[in-house]
Amino acid sequence: MAELTYREAVAAGIAQEMERDERVVFLGEDVAAAGGVFKTTVGLLEKFGPCRVRDTPISEQAIVGAAMGAAMTGLRPIAEIMFSDFFGVSWDMIANEIAKARYMCAGQLALPLVIRTANGSGSRFGAQHSQSVENWVMAVPGLKVVAPSNPADVKGLLAAAVRDPDPVIFFEHKGLYATKGEVPDGEHVDRLGTAKVLRQGSDVTIVALAAMVPRALQAAQRLEKEGISATVVDLRSLVPLDTKTLLVETKKTGRLYTVEENPRLCGWGAEIASIVAEEAFYDLDGPIVRITTPHVPLPAADELEDNTVPTVERIVETVRRTAG
């Protein structure tokens, strides 16, 4: 095991797959010579050269279009969109072309491509550079959606995404880039569509994603001191969604909480609440509770941003108030 930061795990995952398969190429703004604006791709240009690691113009449409064409002709591209907010610029290509190409040609071609992007709040970048948009992508049939919470999952899930025959949108959380964790040495490949139970409890089940996972774990530790035992589930993947783990862990405790950074309206937790209500209603001991960001543009001011997104304190208070 090696201890890596979340951002170092990104570079390690890309390098692992580029070494394994010469069809893997990487492109995006400032990803080569500069090593990425968040320093997630340092050393890749020196290791793999300018033919496979390419800086692009400032054009999200060009980046995504080039990746789609490369995938259609036999390569396995990894494309970087600097901020997930910029998906809006290339949304037609992602939602109407990449997501639907395999279906519309009856499977005659595959699109094995990964679009990596920096997602989420905490960096004081304001409303246009701090959104959590995984629910945008989750709503489009044909796209797989991954959002890791720790360095080991970054490397393993990124490798799985590169090897997948379908387009995968890979959300890296800006607020987690500096966090550290142990990452398996050598080749490390995880499996898409699998959640992880990080903590077992008997009273409530808390489901979280990306940067909300460490907050859920901290909240669970505080709740334990108050006599409330919490299971914590890291979703890791929204599409495919590990409904089996969600249902099993919810049935054990009878109470489900989702902790979501995306705005409340149409967030991923609403879909989970719908599934659990349909499949496990009579196993519930109380209403499903969603702990979310309000349906507002994210503020840039430190204190406002920190208190708009779910906090450890808000998770603890909500569970304490509603857990019966």
The burial class, CB within 10 Å (0-12 / 13-18 / 19+), for 42 is middle
Spatial CA neighbour of 118 closest among 36, 193, 42:
36
Q: 165 φ, ψ to 5°? A: -80, -5
Respond yes or no: is residue 129 known to be catalytic. Answer: yes
Spatial CA neighbour of 249 closest among 193, 200, 303:
200
In the numeric block, which tokens belong to residue 53?
């690691």
- Sheet harboring 204-208: ordered strands across? 196-199, 230-234, 204-208, 256-263, 289-293
Catalytic residue positions, numbered: 129
